Structure 1
Amino acid sequence: MQIKSLLLATLSLVALVRADAATQAAADQADQQIRFLSHDQVASATHNGTWLLLFGPKWCGYTQRFTPKWLQVQNTVDQEHLNVNLAKIDCTTDADFCTGAPYHVTGYPTVILVRNGQVAQEYPGADEVQPLLDYIHQL
């Protein structure tokens, strides 16, 4: 009976984080326009200026739902010429980098503010366009 309960709980969890096909397609399409940094590019890219880094694996349903919103934020930041850079880190291929120092990501998606190469804070708001833009305007 315990094995059956454990199996059902595991399947329920998998169902929660798996995105449906439309969500995955929208995320894949957004990813084609989003700026990505690999783990070996992050230190040099973020050395100067203000950066918001989105950490998330492509398989994660929560990250897939957030990815098109991240693209909207990126486009608004570009259109308004705001003094912040945005990039996404694919934790599918860089999982150890994402969960290790200095980022210590424990859940996905996670947005982290980096200033002049130093982690400043994890974004504390909702994974929605307007709260993230409000946060950026306050930087």
Structure 2
Amino acid sequence: MRLLLPIAVLLSLLALVLAAEKNVKMVSREEMDQLAKEADDQITFLTPETFAPAVEKGVWLVFYGARWCKYCKRLTPRWLKLQRKVADVKPDDFSVAKVDCTDESDFCSKNHVEAYPTIYLYNKGKLVEEYTGEVDSKSLIRYALDKAEYFAAMEMYRRSKNRHEEL
């Protein structure tokens, strides 16, 4: 009797793992490399020269990654999906970009990037927070749209407050 409960729990866990694996598409390293490369060809990149002028305007969600990092390779196609979703929705003053730390390691270090991938949210040039949520497409899109809505509401409030003070 004592053994039945632990065995039942283990079997339940195994069933959950197997069910979860059915929903996850497994790809080879070569396929992942190709998907990441194709996504990188379409993603908006920021460089040390373009970073400050861009990020000073509005809200930016920035993915710091390295081409050699397998986790970054997995995230890159999802990042492209996020970028496309944000472009479709067109939230006011909200943008998505990537920084390639393979070529810009000093710049990434200066921006407090200690591991890959790192995702930071900026508002008007200032670091607001690090994204620490799940890196699946749905979670990233939800986070981005929630932040876009939040900062748009804050900007509307600021403008209405300024108009009220002028009266």
Which protein has the larger Cα radius of gyration, Structure 1 or Structure 2? 2
Note the 1:128-139 alignment, pairs <5 A: 128-139=136-147
Aligned with residue 97 of structure 1, among 102, 107, 112: 107
What percent identity do the matched residue pairs reach? 36
Distance 1:27 1:82 in 2: 26
The aligned length equals 119
Q: Which has the higher helix share?
A: 2
Q: Does 1:27 align with 2:16?
A: no
Distance 1:111 1:62 in 2: 13
Q: What corresponds to 1:115 in structure 2?
A: 123
Distance 1:90 1:70 in 2: 13
TM-score by length of 1: 0.82
Query: Could you tell me which amino acid in structure 2 is paired with residue 93 of structure 1?
Result: D
Q: CA deviation at 1:136?
A: 1.4
What do the CA deviations read for 1:34-63 (whole angstroms, capped 9, x no partner)? 000111210011111000011001111110
Q: CA deviation at 1:91?
A: 0.2
SS of 1:26 mapped into structure 2? helix
Q: What corresponds to 2:133 in structure 1?
A: 125
Question: Which residues of structure 2 form unaligned runs of 5+?
Answer: 1-27, 148-167
Question: Which residues of structure 1 form unaligned runs of 5+?
Answer: 1-18
